[in-house]
Each structure stands twice: as C-alpha cells, then as structure tokens.
C-alpha cells in the first residue's frame, strides 16, 4: 500500500486493519526515500505474513527465540544469518536481482557463509590446499569479456573445503588460511592453481539453521563445488561456483546454488599438459572460461529490470531510481 | 502462491521468477501442515520483499548484520527482538490476531520486553515499588466477566518502571524484583496495591533498535503506563496496560500500544477511601474494571475471524483449522 508523506496522525487504537498504514506512515518521516520505501515494503510483508497465517503468540515467540539463537551462534567464522538466508533462497534471489547477467555472461551462484578476507595473494601455479588426503586437481581457467577478449589483473578469490568437506574456518584451531587463495589473471586472462577435488558436504547443521532444516525434513547437503569470486574496478563483481558432476546432490542443493551452466565435468591432464604444468599425467583437471561483464553493462540492465519490475508490480505507481535502486516517485 | 505437495523436481537453474515456487516446494515435504503453510507465506513475503525493492547485496548484508547485532545484545533481561517486533508494529498485530476481543472485553496492549517470571506473589494492599522518589499511587481494580460477575483467583501480573523510567531489569545490579508483583483477585474480583505514578520513558535505545529508530527519525518514547497481565485456567490470557493522561507521547507511542479505552485519568483518594486503604487522603488513585473473556469465547471468535480472513485473502483456496490455526485444505 502506498502512503504519501505528511503529518503523522495520532497513533492510538491501532487494529489488525489500520496498523500497517500507520506504521508505514511513522516510518516515512525520514529524508531517505530509499529507506522509506524499503521499510514500507518490509512492514507490509511482515504484517501480511502475520495476517495471512493468523500468527499465534506462541509461534511469534518461537520465531523470535529462533532469531535470537541465530544471532547468538553468529561470529566472524560462523555466519548463521547468511546460512538462514541461503536455505530460504534469499541469497540466490538477491544475487540474481543485483547482478543480472546479459547474454553469454557467466551466471552467479551463492556466496555462502565461508568466504574470508584473509586469503593470501599467490602467483598462478601454487597449491591452495595443504590437505594431503585430497585427490589432486589442477584448475586452469580464464576470465574474458563477452567478446572473448582476455581481462587482465582481475582479483580472483577461490575457496573450497578439505577432503572431509570442512572449510578451514570450521576448525577451532585455524592458524592460517587453507583451501583458499587470491590470484590475479594474466595478460591472456588466465589463472591456474593446484587444488584438491571438491567433495559434497553438509552445511553446518549443529545450530538453529540445522534444526530448521530437520523440522522441514530437508537435508543439509551441498553438491561438490569450488567457489570463485572476481573483482576488478570497472567490472561487475561476480560471485559464482563450479559444480562437479556426478553428484547425488546436484539436483537438491540445500542452498539452491546450482546452475546447469556451472556444472563442469572434470577432465584429465594429457601428457603435454602434464609437462606444461609440471603435474603428473592423468591428474584431474578443471577448466572453465569465465565471462565477466562491465559494471556499466550490469547497471544498465539492473536499472531497466528494476523500473520494469516495479512498474509491473505497482501499475498505478510512478517510480524512479536513486543510486540505481527504485523508489516511488512522489513528485 | 499455492503449491500442491508432491515429488520435488530438480532444484537447479533457480531464477528471480521460479525460486519462490521451488523453495516453497522443498519446504513442503514435512508432515506438519501448519509449518508448511507458515513457511509458504514466509518465503513468499521474504522473496516478494526482495523483488519489490530490488534489494541490493549491500542492503541485504546490512540487514543481516543488523539482525546479528539484535541477537548479540539479547539476553534474559534484554529482549531486543521483542523490541524490534514492537517498533515494527508486529507485537500489537499478533496480539490483536491471537486475542480478538468480543464486545465489552478489555482491549489488549503490547507485552513489551520487560515482563519477568520472578515477581513475588503478594496479597492485596502491599507496595510493589521500593522507589522512595516515586509519587505514591494507589491502584484499585477488579476483574469481571462480560456480564459483570467477579472473576476470583485470577493471577494478575503487574509491572512498572521506577520514577526515573527504568525497569528493575535495566539495572545491572538487580538483586530482586522491584516495581513488579503478582496478585490474586478476591471473591469480588478486586485486587489492589500500592505503587508509584507511572512516568513516560524511552525504550532502550542504546542498541540496534535505537539506531534503527534514529535512522527512521522516530523517537523512542512511550507514554506513562502500567502493565497488567491476567491468567486463569479457562480464561483468555489478557495482556494489557493502562495509560495515564496527560502525556505528550499518548498519540505517538514508539511501540503503538495505546488504545483509547485504556487511557485512564488518575483520581484522588477521598477521606473515606484513605481510611479504608490506610493511605493519606489526596493520594493519586488508579482504578479500572478489567473485563475478561473465557478461552472458549476467544477461540470461537478467533476461529471465525481466521476462516473468514483467509477465505477473503485467497478466494480460490479451501482452508481448515488445525489446533485453531488456519492451513490450506488440500483434501
């Protein structure tokens, strides 16, 4: 519902029918149009959710206690709210909204709760995993634009679990980053590193999000994958992952990250490749040509999609963009 | 949107347009119809919120960080998620949905984050506040049914701030409950106690909810009030409060609790009353006749309202009640 700005009328005798409009009104006294719009939609959906379910006090209380638990277990290395957002499909949705992909661009996938900012920048060719039990894997990729031109100097964050399916941050005694690295693409757009073959693993399910999945009769497994994140000024931030078949969880990823275009069968190093990369012949090989798009391309597409979508959702409502984000246009 | 139960199809290639239906489907594999319905509505509104605002990754991240902070500051004596729910109007809405009031019944108000379970049961007539700086107030009330018959043996929880506007639990060195008590109604439905005149006060605003109010240009003040909670087997739980005029915040309560029917001007004790209650003549007096309803009356009204509301919201959808809560009827 749309409420024009203005004086806030007396806030008494609020009822099931009038509380939403009044709450929106009292939240509309600040000068930030985007904040006002976000809170208008937030309050509308929060209240509609309660009205449509006829939410009981007991359920409301259980919900708040659950959120307290999610907050309590959260830390720099345990991002339970991201996990919750993941299993509810919100992460994938926000990525799709914020990073629309034009034709040919590599699709995005979920960031997940395990990215860190302390991975070491290393030259191509070095190992990223110290796990002696992992099956050796050579990863040889490129970053190019949509016309096939290499993009040089892209900062590429990569991260994966060890062979038991745990990220380094899941170990209490983590002395230094492992299973992760930052690389820079070469003049030909390429970057390569030694890793281990990804394995499928359950997301952390010993906390409140795990309890929720159990209640919903959902399994916590993710199919084997390796995370990639690409950053370069002027280029749209790309968060994605490559999924390795065969994997029994490819069609039921607990966090909805799988895209067909990101499912990448492993190859095996030929004798020639083995010599080039100084790795035994027959070593498993993961190759992928990532296609990046410029910030400008993404912004133009996002702006267009946003205006179209909001006009379609609220046919009677004029809309404008502020910092590339939609707000109702009251002028 | 309504999704029938059934086999879950492959969960790959989720997009802005199909992720909601797929997430609902994967959440529908559990046997609890109510849980399934609540999560159907939750996911629908969460995703619609993101789609309608075109929520950015930065905003999503700020939102999750805010929720982590709300969880982190929460404790047995600091219920920040209740506070958040209060300032978003959700508490009042849930109370209105869960405890609909038939004609003549006393209206509900917000529980707030300051109720505790450790207040001492005391006979009528005792003081509930040890604050020497408060203005003395005698509170003389009754609990009756809608026909005016007294209801005996009702457990009445009362709680109020001290004269500086702080509840006992807001002091780090809280040795025992103060400004709160539990009383039982007499055979004539009456209960009375010595208290202090309530003052207006800001809700705790040194945490994330305070920051949010500031961002929204909202003040954190509540008008002067005293909390009352009524419990007796067979009777509907009544959570309410009496608001004391005059008060500059009566029409802008930060948590939307004020109902006109609960605004109760103070009187002054007559000479006769002063003798009866052994309190100085002229002492401020708060009187109110609370009207309780039976659990049966409330349930019948809630059931009727729920079925009517859900049928109106989803005209094509059959609905039934399970434990008095609506679920779609798929049979």
Q: What is the mean pLDDT of residues B280-294?
A: 97
Q: Does A32 lie in the same domain as A114?
A: no
Q: Does A176 lie in the same domain as A49?
A: no
Q: What is the mean pLDDT of residues B290-296?
A: 97
Q: Does A134 lie in the same domain as A15?
A: no
Q: Does A41 lie in the same domain as A152?
A: no
How would DSSP label each residue in B100-141?
---TTPPPP----S---S-PPB--TTSBS---TTSPEEEEEE
Best A70, A71, A113, A302 residue to mutate vs chain B (most B CBs within 10 Å)? A71
Bridge-based pairing state of the strands A267-268 and B190-196: unpaired
Residue B9 lies in a domain: no
Q: B206: exposed, middle or buried (C-beta count within 10 Å: 0-12, 13-18, 19+)? A: exposed
Percent of chain B at pLDDT exceeding 90: 89
Residue B249 lies in a domain: yes
CB contact under 8 A, B216 and A20: no
Q: Does A48 lie in the same domain as A161?
A: no
Q: How many structural domains comprise chain A?
A: 2
Each residue's pLDDT, cut to its tens digit, for chain A (331 residues) gives 343 444 567 788 999 999 999 999 999 999 999 999 999 999 999 999 999 999 999 999 999 999 999 999 999 889 999 999 999 999 999 999 999 999 999 999 999 889 999 998 999 999 999 999 999 999 999 999 999 999 999 999 999 999 999 999 999 888 899 999 999 999 999 999 999 999 999 999 999 999 999 999 999 999 999 999 999 999 999 999 999 999 999 999 999 999 999 999 999 999 999 999 999 999 999 999 999 999 999 999 999 999 998 888 888 888 899 999 999 887 6
Residue B270 lies in a domain: yes
Residue A89 lies in a domain: no
Other Cβ atoms closer than 10 A to A58: 12
Query: What band does B6 get if pLDDT is binned at 50, 70 and 90?
Result: very low
Q: Confirm or reject contact between B271 and chain A (CB < 8 A).
A: no
Of B42, B89, B91, the CB nearest to A49: B42
Residue B242 lies in a domain: yes
Q: Does A14 lie in the same domain as A107?
A: no
pLDDT recorded at residue A8:
65
- H helix or E strand, kind and range, residue A98: helix A90-98
User: Do residues A188 and A142 make contact, with C-beta atoms less than 8 angstroms apart?
Assistant: yes
User: Do residues A1 and B248 make contact, with C-beta atoms less than 8 angstroms apart?
Assistant: no
Bridge-based pairing state of the strands B136-144 and B284-291: parallel
pLDDT recorded at residue A5:
45
- Distance, CA of B54 to CA of B12 (rounded, Å): 22
pLDDT recorded at residue A312:
86
The SS3 of residue A263 is strand
Query: What band does B328 get if pLDDT is binned at 50, 70 and 90?
Result: confident
Strand order in the sheet with A225-231: A180-184, A155-159, A225-231, A238-243
Q: In chain B, whose CA is at the least distance from the CA of A313?
A: B52
CB contact under 8 A, B16 and A93: yes
Strand order in the sheet with B238-243: B180-184, B155-159, B225-231, B238-243
Take residue B125 and report the two structure tokens written for it.
């007539």
Query: What band does B120 get if pLDDT is binned at 50, 70 and 90?
Result: confident
pLDDT recorded at residue B10:
77
Q: Confirm or reject contact between B45 and chain A (CB < 8 A).
A: yes
Residue A91 lies in a domain: no
Mean pLDDT over the full length of chain B: 94
Residue B330 lies in a domain: no
User: Do residues A82 and A91 make contact, with C-beta atoms less than 8 angstroms apart?
Assistant: yes
pLDDT recorded at residue A27:
96
ipTM of the modeled complex: 0.93
Query: Among A46-55, B4-13, B309-318, which stretch is predicted with the lowest mean pLDDT?
Result: B4-13
pLDDT recorded at residue B8:
64
Q: What pLDDT digit, counting tens, does each position of B139-172 carry?
A: 999 999 999 999 999 999 999 999 999 999 999 8
Q: What is the mean pLDDT of residues B18-29?
A: 95
Take residue B108 and report the two structure tokens written for it.
């509900």
Of the candidates B230, B201, B91, the one whose C-alpha atom is nearest the C-alpha of residue A64 is B91
Percent of chain B at pLDDT exceeding 70: 97
Cis peptide before A304 (omega within 30 of 0): no
Q: Does A45 lie in the same domain as A117?
A: no
Q: How many CA atoms lie within 13 A of B200 on its CB side?
A: 18
Residue A94 lies in a domain: no
pLDDT at residue B1 above 50? Answer: no
Q: Does A17 lie in the same domain as A110?
A: no
**Segments forming the whole domain that contains residue A164:** 103-293
- Distance, CA of A208 to CA of A74 (rounded, Å): 10
User: Which CATH number fits the domain that encloses residue B110?
Assistant: 2.60.130.10
pLDDT recorded at residue A7:
57
Q: What pLDDT digit, counting tens, does each position of B203-219 carry?
A: 999 999 999 999 999 99
């Amino acid at each position: 519902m749309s409420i024009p700005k203005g004086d806030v009328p007396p806030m008494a005798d609020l009822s099931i029918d009038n509380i939403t409009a009044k709450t929106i009104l009292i939240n509309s006294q600040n000068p930030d149009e985007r904040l006002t719009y976000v809170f208008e939609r937030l309050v509308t959906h929060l209240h509609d959710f309660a009205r449509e379910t006829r939410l009981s006090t007991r359920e409301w209380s259980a919900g708040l206690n659950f959120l307290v638990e999610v907050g309590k277990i959260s830390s720099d290395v345990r991002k339970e709210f991201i996990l919750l957002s993941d299993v509810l499909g919100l992460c994938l949705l926000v990525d799709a909204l914020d990073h629309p992909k034009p034709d040919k661009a590599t699709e995005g996938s979920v960031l997940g709760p395990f990215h860190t900012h302390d991975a070491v920048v290393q030259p191509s060719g070095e190992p990223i995993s110290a796990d002696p039990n992992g099956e050796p894997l050579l990863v040889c990729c490129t970053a190019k634009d949509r016309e096939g031109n290499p993009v040089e100097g892209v900062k590429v964050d990569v991260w994966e679990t060890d062979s038991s399916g745990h990220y380094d941050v899941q170990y209490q005694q983590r002395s230094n980053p492992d299973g992760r690295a930052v690389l820079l693409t070469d003049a030909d757009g390429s970057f390569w590193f030694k890793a281990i073959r990804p394995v499928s693993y359950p997301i952390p399910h010993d906390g409140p999000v795990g309890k929720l999945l159990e209640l919903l009769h959902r399994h916590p497994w993710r199919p084997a994958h390796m995370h990639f994140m690409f950053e370069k000024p002027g280029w749209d931030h790309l968060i994605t992952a490559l999924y390795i078949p065969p994997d029994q969880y490819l069609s039921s990823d607990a966090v909805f990250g799988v895209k067909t275009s990101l499912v990448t069968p492993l190859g095996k190093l030929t004798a020639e490749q083995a010599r080039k990369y100084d790795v035994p012949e027959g070593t498993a090989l993961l190759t992928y040509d990532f296609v990046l798009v410029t910030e400008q391309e993404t912004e133009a597409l996002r702006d267009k999609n946003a205006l179209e979508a909001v006009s379609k959702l609220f046919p009677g409502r004029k809309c404008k963009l502020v910092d590339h984000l939609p707000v109702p246009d009251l002028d």
